[in-house]
Amino acid sequence: MVDSRTYEFEGTSPSIDDEASVSGDAILVGDVEVAAEASVWPGVVLRGDVGPVRVGQGTHVGDNATLHAATLEERVMVGHGAVLNEAVVETGALVGFNATLNTDATVGAGSIVAAGTVIPDEYEIPPESFVRGVPAEVTPLAETGIDPEEIFEEFSSGAYTDLARRHGDLFE
């Protein structure tokens, strides 16, 4: 049976772990890997044509996000409508709704990128930072009063994994 979500590009087809949840309304092209316990929600585009797209274990990509040649390490949350172009998001980071990460941007482990933030080309966000604005401004999380564990508990990967499993038909 042909998987209508996935498209080969120059001999390379997407790979979805059996324990991942990928919506039938997402599109995966070329060199894309989705790891176990990850979820890819409706309207997401993962395009691995000029470079690979990697979605790490326990990582969740919200509705209508677009990743082009981007890497998401483990336990990453990407909000609805985010755009990542040739960017890297390290373990345990959260990218807010409609944020934009431009070419060669890196978000350090445990960081939070606020909704609507625009991260310029080749920008490196240090680990455990809070990032917001257009263009992005970085503040160490320790200086913000924001409790990243509380935020991750609220939007935890485990809760999203469970939610994806409860959706049934959306991910078959």
84: β partners = 67, 101
10: β partners = none
What's the confidence (pLDDT) of residue 168? 72
With a pLDDT cut of 90, the percent of the chain lying above it is 79
Q: Which residues have C-beta within 8 Å of that of residue 125, sequence separation ≥ 6?
A: 105, 106, 107, 108, 111, 113, 119, 131, 136, 138
Pairing of strands 77-78, 94-95: parallel
Element (H, E) at 125: strand 124-125
Q: What is the pLDDT of residues 2-47, one digit of tens each?
A: 466 889 999 999 999 999 999 999 999 999 999 999 999 999 999 9
Sign of CA dihedral 40, 42, 44, 46: positive
Q: Considering the entire predicted model, what is its pTM?
A: 0.92
Which superfamily, per CATH, for 6-170?
A: Hexapeptide repeat proteins (2.160.10.10)
Q: Domain segments of the chain: what residues?
A: 6-170
Query: How many alpha carbons fall within 13 Å on the CB side of residue 73?
Result: 13
What's the confidence (pLDDT) of residue 147? 81
At residue 107, does pLDDT exceed 70?
yes
